[in-house]
Amino acid sequence: MSISKSSLYRYFCRRLPAMLSTTAALAIGLGLCAVGAAKAQTYQVIHNFTGGRDGAVPRAGLSVDGAGNLFGTTFGIAPGGNPYGTVFEMKHVLTGWILNPLYDFGGGGDGAGPNARVVLGPDGSLYGTTTFGGQGSCNGFWTGCGTVYKLRPSPSVCHSALCPWTKTVLYAFSGGSDGLWPYGDLTFDHGGNIYGTTYAGGGPGTVYELTPTNGGWTETVLYHFSGGDDGRFAVGGVIFDGAGNLYGTTEEGGGRGCDFGCGTVFELTPSGPPWTENVLHGFQGAGDGAAPTGGFIFDGLGNIYGATTGYGSLADATVFQVTPSNGGWTLTTIYDFGNVEGPQGSLTMDAAGNLYGTTLGGGRYGWGAVFKLTPALGGWTYSSLYDFCAGGYPCADGAAPYSNIVFDSRGNIFGTASRGGTYSYGVVFQITP
């Protein structure tokens, strides 16, 4: 019977604390585990976007259902192809993957330019946002102030291998006090209500709720940002804690270390509307990072994890932890990427407490990386699972990932890169342990 190198690594690292008795030896061993795990990964492009009906420029990550199917969006802007963006599904067939275009956005009232993932709703449908399209004139790349939409399989029998889904616009932003340019993933509560954020409108950004009402949906703005210490430009969506409070980030505002503030971590408590905002942390730039644009995740202890994208020479990109402490919250930087374009999407945590994500820039070749952070001896160890553009520009393996990371039931890692690939319109990738 043969034993693979990856199996040996896993066997050794699981038993490491019992095998090594000194702190120094344990630190060395954990470092070897991190290096070994990184070397054991196999990277593969499973789809090259052509700029045609499959779309172009995926600026968000993926969602995965219980059957292992992947769902994602492309932003659009491909000359000669669909300029308004798409929603797609990827299914594993025999030894490969096939992409099924679920919907092509048409611009105008239909929506355009999805910047966020689609999420699986409680009814099994897909829900997402388009940054543009809908109604109003908001001076974007396309007209319209953005939409929230729902996609579900067509009710009629499909006799084709590639079956489009049916889309419904749940809400079209007007660009007034209701918000404009929705960014970030959507979130559901237990009652089926939808929550999200807009980049602007009613001030520099909102947090909103959509409630099903008489066959339609009604929007309620839970909070209008003022642009000062409370933050501005909410682009990462929001998440709930167990008590019904919402948490999110703003890209600017708060601390004063950057041109317009370095961003905030905020909590919203039900008390209205409007809800009551509590700024948990205002970033200062130097030391703690700046411009958090991705969403949050909780661990089992109630700690929050997120990342900052950096702010040029004024602030590094970081991964941070926000911990409840004596009735307040304490932010700790757990990893500093330096002066690179850092993580744009949310982080992912596995069952062992390791964190995963991507960086838009940096990495060995300067075009981004997929990384893992492993808790070790009160700190965190960085491992690069893949550095993009290994063969040089134009980056046949992909480049510039905005993506989050998702796992299937076998531990395979999936994500997207917005550039590179065979046609230079981005890729979907898989990393196999």
- Please report the pLDDT score of residue 326 as a whole number: 86
Average pLDDT of adjacent 10-residue blocks, the chain of 433 residues: 36 38 38 43 95 93 96 83 88 91 92 95 95 80 87 76 84 94 95 96 92 94 94 95 96 84 95 91 90 94 95 88 91 94 96 97 97 93 97 96 96 97 97 93
Local structure of residue 393 (DSSP, 8 states): T
Q: Is there a single domain that holds both residue 31 and residue 76?
A: no
Q: Is there a single domain that holds both residue 15 and residue 72?
A: no
- Please report the pLDDT score of residue 160 as a whole number: 66
d(CA 143, CA 139): 7
d(CA 181, CA 130): 8
- Please report the pLDDT score of residue 378 as a whole number: 81
How many distinct structural domains can be found in the chain? 2
End-to-end CA distance of the chain: 20
Q: Is there a single domain that holds both residue 17 and residue 112?
A: no
CB 249 within 8 A of CB 292: yes
- Please report the pLDDT score of residue 196 as a whole number: 98
Q: What is the dihedral of CA 351, 249, 108, 121, to 10 degrees?
A: 30
CB 55 within 8 A of CB 80: no
Q: Is there a single domain that holds both residue 20 and residue 51?
A: no
Q: How many CB atoms lie within 10 A of CB 44?
A: 13
Q: Is there a single domain that holds both residue 169 and residue 318?
A: yes
- Please report the pLDDT score of residue 204 as a whole number: 93
- Please report the pLDDT score of residue 185 as a whole number: 95
DSSP 166-212: EEEEEEE--SSTT-EEEEEEEEE-TTS-EEEEEEEBTTB-EEEEEEE
- Please report the pLDDT score of residue 381 as a whole number: 96
Q: Is there a single domain that holds both residue 99 and residue 13?
A: no
- Please report the pLDDT score of residue 137 as a whole number: 75
In tens, the pLDDT along 406-422 reads 999 999 999 999 999 99
Q: Is there a single domain that holds both residue 258 and residue 214?
A: yes
User: Residue 19: which domain range?
Assistant: 1-40
CB 90 within 8 A of CB 78: no
User: Tell me, what CATH number does 163's domain have?
Assistant: 2.130.10.10
Q: Is there a single domain that holds both residue 80 and residue 25?
A: no
3-state secondary structure of 382: strand
- Please report the pLDDT score of residue 350 as a whole number: 96
- Please report the pLDDT score of residue 41 as a whole number: 75
pTM for this entry = 0.88
In tens, the pLDDT along 130-166 reads 999 998 777 655 678 999 999 998 776 666 656 778 9
In tens, the pLDDT along 280-302 reads 999 998 889 999 999 999 999 99
Q: Is there a single domain that holds both residue 108 and residue 210?
A: yes
Q: Is there a single domain that holds both residue 238 and residue 134?
A: yes
Q: Is there a single domain that holds both residue 14 and residue 52?
A: no
Q: Is there a single domain that holds both residue 240 and residue 380?
A: yes
